[in-house]
């Protein structure tokens, strides 16, 4: 069982006996108390429970873990989308789960909980997912098929949350209406029943597939067109692929958060591509004609000028990212390679070279002229 599945199935708040909005202090207090009671040294046979409590504390005491856990509990475990580099946590941009499902489940949670809007059109919620694209695909543009998890009625229990053959009791707190009426003077207010979450019925024997939630996530394929030059951090909107609207309202949209994976050779700045190319000292001095690839793998013949300094950037026009309206350039950064191992013959040749160097030129003159301190510090 993956961690997320385990999270989805275990109510750590219940394990610690705290509410879902408990503070860290409350969580720690509850944990300490339980840990003392259940410690295997004190209480033999409570190892399992002790482990459970420790696990719950481990998750709930870490704010980022807790946030993740809450999301998994709310939306279900993430599904991974195969081998093409996509990652698949679906996040719904909703704070209120009853909002999210109101369009999906007939009548939503609580028939009268949203009286004013019960029969008005509502746009479906937006859905967010993330996707990773290779550098080449982002550069050249690519149409991809994503698998996105959408909430739906559980296939096992048809959304009732009850195990097959089990009987559902009518909620005794709201008498099956799904809401509670509180007297607010002139106005009487309707609140969703907290005992049955507005369903009007109570599940006594929960469905083993959805753990009584009545919901499950089903993947759907969505085609997304990534334009040439797509970049990390971009949100690609796919209209109408969010959750369905209610009472004839339009669907929400799907937002795909894009991450572009780095390339082992190329980097990007806007529509321009950068490539660092090593050349030898000899080539730098005498000039050379070399072969380099563009990002599509096409060969480019590049002329290195004579006396080319290290770090010089040579521009190859039009070989960057091409979009409909414009095309970027390819910038080649020259890196003069310094030999790390030289043989005897090369060493002699180099010494000869150094001897014949124009001795009246001090290459460090500019730097050395700055030396003012009389006392020497050895480094």
Nearer to Zn ion, 100 or 171 (CB): 171
Identify which of residues 35 and 209 has a Cβ nearer to Zn ion in the complex.
Answer: 209
Separation between Cα atoms, residue 190 and residue 169, nearest integer Å? 22
The answer to whether 157 contacts Zn ion (rule: CB under 5 A) is yes
Q: Which of 18, 56, 210, 238 binds Zn ion (CB under 5 A)?
A: 210
Helix axes 47-60, 24-38, angle to 10 degrees: 170
Q: Which stretch binds Zn ion (CB under 5 A): 184-192, 208-216, 293-301, 333-341?
A: 208-216
| Residue-wise DSSP of 59-91 | HHTSHHHHHHHHHHHHH------TTSS-----E
CA atoms of 36 and 50, how far apart (whole Å): 9
Q: How far is the CB of 156 from Zn ion (least distance, A)?
A: 4
154 binds Zn ion (CB under 5 A): yes
Answer for which of 90, 133, 192, 207 binds Zn ion (CB under 5 A) is 207
Residue 206 touches Zn ion, criterion: CB under 5 A: no
Nearest residue (CB) to Zn ion, 158 versus 220:
158
**Residue 195 binding Zn ion, by CB under 5 A:** yes
User: Applying CB under 5 A, which part among 65-73, 169-177, 348-356, 371-379 lies near Zn ion?
Assistant: 169-177
Find, among 276, 254, 251, 253, the residue nearest to 263 by Cα.
276
Q: Where are the beta strands (DSSP E) in 187-321?
A: 187-192, 201-203, 215-226, 235-238, 254-260, 266-269, 272-279, 288-293, 299-304, 313-316
Q: How many residues bind Zn ion (CB under 5 A)?
A: 12
Distances (CA, A) of 236 to 107, 131, 183, 231: 32, 10, 48, 10
In this complex, which beta carbon is closest to Zn ion, that of residue 54 or of residue 166? 166
Residue 193 CB, nearest approach to Zn ion (Å)? 3
8 Å CB contact between 188 and 181: yes
Residue 251 beta carbon to Zn ion: minimum distance, rounded to whole angstroms: 25
Query: Which span sits near Zn ion by CB under 5 A: 210-218, 224-232, 249-257, 345-353?
Result: 210-218
Q: Where are the alpha helices (DSSP H) in 172-251?
A: none
Closer to Zn ion by Cβ: residue 199 or 319: 199
Which 268-327 positions form the footprint of Zn ion (CB under 5 A)?
Answer: none
Binding mask 96-135 for Zn ion (x = CB under 5 A): ----------------------------------------
Cβ at position 173, least distance to Zn ion in Å: 5
Cβ proximity of 238 and 222 under 8 Å? yes
Among 173, 225, 239, 315, binds Zn ion (CB under 5 A): 173
Nearer to Zn ion, 97 or 316 (CB): 97
Judged by CB, which is closer to Zn ion: 171, or 243?
171
Name the phi and psi angles at 182, rounded to 5: -115, 145
Choose between 212 and 320: whose C-beta lies nearer to Zn ion.
Answer: 212
The beta strand positions in 44-186, using DSSP E, are 91-92, 127-133, 142-153, 168-170, 179-184
Q: Which of 193, 203, 258, 334 binds Zn ion (CB under 5 A)?
A: 193
> How far from 254 is each of 74, 103, 191, 312, 320, CA to CA, in Å?
19, 16, 31, 44, 30
The rounded distance, in Å, linking the Cα atoms of 354 and 359 is: 9
Q: Which of 26, 68, 99, 156 binds Zn ion (CB under 5 A)?
A: 156
Nearest to Zn ion of 85, 176 (CB atom)? 176
Determine contact, residues 332/292, Cβ cutoff 8 Å.
yes
Interacting residues toward Zn ion by CB under 5 A:
154, 156-157, 171, 173-174, 193, 195-196, 207, 209-210
């Amino acid at each position: 069982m993956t961690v997320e599945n385990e999270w989805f199935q275990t109510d750590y708040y219940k394990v610690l006996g705290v509410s879902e909005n408990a503070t860290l202090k409350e969580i720690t207090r509850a944990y300490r108390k339980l840990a003392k009671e259940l410690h295997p040294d004190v209480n033999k046979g409570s190892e399992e429970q002790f482990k459970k409590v420790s696990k719950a504390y481990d998750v709930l005491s870490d704010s980022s873990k807790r946030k993740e856990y809450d999301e998994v509990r709310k939306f279900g475990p993430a599904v991974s989308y195969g081998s093409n580099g996509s990652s698949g946590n679906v996040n719904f941009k909703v704070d209120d789960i009853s909002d999210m499902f109101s369009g999906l489940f007939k009548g939503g949670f609580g028939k009268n909980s949203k009286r004013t809007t019960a029969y008005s059109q509502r746009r479906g919620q937006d859905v967010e997912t993330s996707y990773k694209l290779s550098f080449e695909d982002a550069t050249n543009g690519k149409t991809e098929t994503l698998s996105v998890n959408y909430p739906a009625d559980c296939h096992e229990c048809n959304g009732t949350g009850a195990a097959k053959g089990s009987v559902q009791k009518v909620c005794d707190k709201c008498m099956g209406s799904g809401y509670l009426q509180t007297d607010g003077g002139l106005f009487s207010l309707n609140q969703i029943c907290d005992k049955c979450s507005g369903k009007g019925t109570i599940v006594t024997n929960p469905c083993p597939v959805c753990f009584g939630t009545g919901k499950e996530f089903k993947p759907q394929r969505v085609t997304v067109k990534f334009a040439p030059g797509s970049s990390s951090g971009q949100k690609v909107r796919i209209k109408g692929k969010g959750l369905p609207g209610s009472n004839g309202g339009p669907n929400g949209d799907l937002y795909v958060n894009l991450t572009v994976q780095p390339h082992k050779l190329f980097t990007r700045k806007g529509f321009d591509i950068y490539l660092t190319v090593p050349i030898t000292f000899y080539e730098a001095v005498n000039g050379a004609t070399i072969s380099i690839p563009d990002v599509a793998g096409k060969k480019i013949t590049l002329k290195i000028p004579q006396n080319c300094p290290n770090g010089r950037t040579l521009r190859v026009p039009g070989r960057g990212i091409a979009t409909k309206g414009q095309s970027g350039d390819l910038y080649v950064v020259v890196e003069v390679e310094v030999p790390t191992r030289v043989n005897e013959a090369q060493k002699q040749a180099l010494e000869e070279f150094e001897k014949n160097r124009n001795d009246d030129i001090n290459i460090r003159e500019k730097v050395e002229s700055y030396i003012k301190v009389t006392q020497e510090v050895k480094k």
